Structure 1
């Protein structure tokens, strides 16, 4: 096959680094393929992408060894501007890539920089908008688009350059599941109809198994193996050892361990077929009964009554929401991008004022409480922990709020030591926070909040950009806090992670509460989930198919629960 990109014995060290982030990587990327790059956090995936457009090492510097050619051009001897005519990149956060005041101007911007003639620019814009299904949005401001639309606009801007190679680095991690599916489908459509070669980095195992032609597995800067998704994800144990998650259908069938299944399914359709075969081979356990929600004896900790909020631009973010949150609960809040989840919890902290309605913390309205009092009682970890870090050491970060609130030095040191120990950060107390991995930075923010000894802790999308090991490490911290008696509120799109942690789910859509029930009940309300652009985990879909095949109710949530029916 014809290779669009060739890497031979590539090593790379960032400036001042003593350890290579890429180690002896040799790889051919074939013209017209969809190559998925997977691997644990810190494996070198993003750095590998940056070598393909010359940004590494031309922009970052450092030490580079080996050879990379793109469309026959050596990435060391050709400037980035020259390589940009062959390679286009789309990154994790579309917000940082969108700078113009209209969709049309956004696409034109890069073309103008490359001195593409104006008539050609005008011809390309409708073509790329049609390719990503954004026709009719030419005059819209990019900030008025949904999360999925913004990412598709970023792809359209890259596509307008008519690249031979389109690189996407975690383009769906901040999107709701339907938005993520939309981006994957768009990219695959471009790959198949326009012949664009695609290289995508993603932790989204289910989508990678469905859409990628081939996967390349990186670990510790080394290329471990390449192969079809069925070959890579079918190796269940090696992936788990690296902290990676195969698709849930693969996890389920690996736990059932039926020798008659000659190939391990990796897509949902393959999993449903395997389930039908298993029913003919195995006896089924009785369908378990769904547990009921635990009784609530204490008065609510937070009470929301008839809460509405309209932003200054006229956006109606919340509409007449009433909700009670009880002491010691572990609550999941989920819904589409723009459903109002973050807007809701910001009212708990008085960061936003109600347009109408009221929020009570215990017996007091949050509007009557000082910000310092709310900070003592409610801890909030934002989507990006880096936005909450501004001190030069971990210890200073953890003690910052305590010092500003006038606690004595003995109390400050005691609380700092206890919270750092709880987050396994004692050895890093004198380290600069931003030198640590993202998962550790999130734990620093949690440690700083824990030192305040709040009653309630809110985690807003804490698992974005994390591999499975990193995501579960953060959620294990949330479990520890819950076991300490804290009330936990977690906002996330990653529904597959939550059955081991949350007890109750509030599902939001377009600023309203669509569901408020037990997690098990909520996950099986698939039509309501679909209405707010959420997709239930594959294990839930397997369980529902099992129910249809047996005419029984199987209210199951996880691969382990589905597998247990066949033992």
Structure 2
């Protein structure tokens, strides 16, 4: 399966005085679930556009460095900038924040078929691909529904299914839950988690909802003004609350509780050998509190 290697990546939009990304280095292994977060303007969307090929194929600007698609060909890795958009779609699928802007067909089944038709998939394979993509997203019952009748969460799952039907190995999502209510957000994140764990699809998602994603992801990447400020597994990243405060990113409540208990002298320093793991969920925080009581 292909992986992504980003080397010394710098990108500037036209007529901008400072780069949107500056000397970014990042490796994303096949099968990882990566969350990219940061304050507004930190460079999250720009980084995703470099990964999925929107930059430089469709977005003008000055690009330095490389985004490599590893193990994509028998000969080894290839730079994303040198892979055509249709070829890139076979490896990397993209889902955006507004499903309304991504759905083009009046019926769900037709929406899933649209991408297959445009990439030349054998018609004999289409029915199976459509059925599998809908089943993987838990929306088989919506196959013959009008897309205009769907809720926001359902539309976003249709958008994900349309991309999955193309059988990509990597799924890139730019704040896919930003327009969704809590139920829709939960449904979409559950789909992403299952696609990652059950099907091995690499998930790269830019999101502000760190609290919901921390228990699901393998690694958090925090951006600050186009640079990587901090990265690592969630429990390790949450050891640095001052960086979250500096970047204007809210530290999840369970992790804030752990730091408050340290400050109160109830827990030892969180980096000490006898300290408990930083809780990622409300349930873990509740269990920690009960143990202390």
TM-score (norm 2): 0.91
Listed one character per residue, the Cα deviations across residues 159-204 of structure 1 (whole Å, up to 9, x for unaligned) are 1111111011111111111221111111010111111100011111
Aligned pairs for 1:325-364 within 5 A: none
* Contact preservation (8 Å) 2:157, 2:188: yes
Question: Which residue is 1:80 aligned to?
Answer: 85
Are 1:58 and 2:57 an aligned pair?
yes
Which 10-residue stretch deviates more, 247-256 or 31-40?
247-256
Q: Distance in 1 between matches of 2:104 and 2:57?
A: 24
1:69 to partner: Cα distance: 1.4
1:105 to partner: Cα distance: 0.4
Correspondence for 1:185 among 187, 190, 215: 190
Q: Which runs of 5+ in 2 are unaligned?
A: none
Q: Distance in 1 between matches of 2:233 and 2:261?
A: 23
Question: Which residue is 2:241 aligned to?
Answer: 236
1:3 to partner: Cα distance: 6.0
* Contact preservation (8 Å) 2:177, 2:185: yes
Question: Which residue is 2:118 aligned to?
Answer: 113
* Contact preservation (8 Å) 2:2, 2:169: no
Are 1:265 and 2:279 an aligned pair?
yes
Q: Which runs of 5+ in 1 are unaligned?
A: 280-567
Aligned pairs for 1:25-424 within 5 A: 25-70=24-69, 71=72, 72-257=77-262, 258-260=266-268, 262=275, 263-279=277-293
1:136 to partner: Cα distance: 2.0
Q: Distance in 1 between matches of 2:233 and 2:153?
A: 27
1:236 to partner: Cα distance: 1.5
* Contact preservation (8 Å) 2:261, 2:267: no
* Contact preservation (8 Å) 1:215, 1:228: yes
Q: Distance in 2 between matches of 1:101 and 1:178?
A: 24
Question: Which residue is 1:390 aligned to?
Answer: none
- What's the C-alpha RMSD, in Å, of the aligned pairs? 1.4
* Contact preservation (8 Å) 2:34, 2:220: yes
Question: Which residue is 1:532 aligned to?
Answer: none
Q: Distance in 2 between matches of 1:162 and 1:227?
A: 28
SS at match of 1:224: strand
Question: Which residue is 1:24 aligned to?
Answer: 23
Q: Distance in 1 between matches of 2:213 and 2:241?
A: 15
TM-score (norm 1): 0.48
